[in-house]
Structure formats: C-alpha cells, structure tokens
Amino acid sequence: MSIGGAIPAGSSRVSRLDPFALPVHFPANDAGADERVRFVELHRERVVMRRAVSGIPMAVSVPVAAFRGVAIRLAPDMDGASEAIAVILDHRDPGLSIELFSSVDEDEIVAEWQAWGRVLGLPLLVAERDGKLREPFPYIGRVRVFAVKPRRRRRNAIRRRRPSIFLRRKPGVIGAHIVVHGGEREIIARN
C-alpha cells in the first residue's frame, strides 16, 4: 500500500491500536528512514514521530489539529491480493499521515473510524478513488447536522402533569378570513 509514494505508517503492525488508551507508542514502516522504521507516539493533542535518516536521529512533533481528519481509504491487504480498508490520520504532507487501523470487515472499519474521530476531535473523511477527500456527512462548523426527530414524552418527570390531548390537537391557523375594521367611526355606549 502506498500513500503519496511512501510506505504508510503502521502497515506492518498486526495488533490493534486502542483510541481510548492514549498515549500510544508503536513502530511503523517508513521508506525514507534507516532500517525502514519510525516510532510514533500518539497523544490526544500531538503526534511525535521519531526516525533516523543517514544515522541522524530526528523527531517531528505535529499537533493533532494540524491533521485534516480521520480518513478511510481502500488499500491492498497484507498479502496484496484483496483490498482492505484503512483508517488513516491524514495530513496534507503524505509522509506525515499515519495508518491507525486496517481490515477487510466494514463493520470494524466504521467503528474504528468513528472512535478515532471522536477521540481526536477531527472530522471524518472518505477518500475517493482519485485520492480526494470529502466529508460524508453535512456539518455546520464542527457540529454534525441530523434530521429533526420528534420529542419522546415517555419517562418524563412532568409527564403526568401535562395532558396528552395537546399532542393530538392541531394548532389554529390565522387565515385571510379575519375581518379588520379600520378607518371607521367607533360607537361607544356610555352611561
């Protein structure tokens, strides 16, 4: 699997990363590093990637807010025959993107994708076949927009104090048939 020409982080990992047990430390594949490995420390507020290039150790610390979001992408499986789906912490620089989870099972992918997005506070993204990312759900700022659901009245503390007849009645409508008298002389009865 390649993302931006580099071997993605975490592609050699077999164990599952737990988003609810941060910080997490794990080795990941890196084509540009010595011994083709880098070590990633993933915290709620930052990601630290340590690697050595030509014998020179370096560490790159990137805030989590600098990542575009938690994306799902199609990727070849470990054996290369079938396609798996990968959950990736996506950055504008493909060398800084980190694979968090990979599986063939769609239910596992959706659960992991939503969990990582919720824990890191990043938007959920879907990668198209051409590589472009899009948001799968409508958002207003950082709030996801849902369809309005009717209010449920069961198990309410004041349920017994309110009659349910008001739920069955339709409210009155002010129509055009109301007569408004204007500009007329008013007759008032006085004692």
37 domain-assigned: yes
Q: What is the pTM of this model?
A: 0.60
150 domain-assigned: no
45 domain-assigned: yes
pLDDT per residue over 47-74, tens digit each?
A: 898 888 888 888 888 898 888 888 888 7
The tally of domains found in the chain comes to: 1
State the CB neighbour count (10 A cutoff) for residue 59.
11
pLDDT per residue over 124-180, tens digit each?
A: 888 887 778 877 776 666 666 777 777 666 666 666 666 667 667 676 777 667 777
50 domain-assigned: yes
* Residue 92: domain span: 24-142
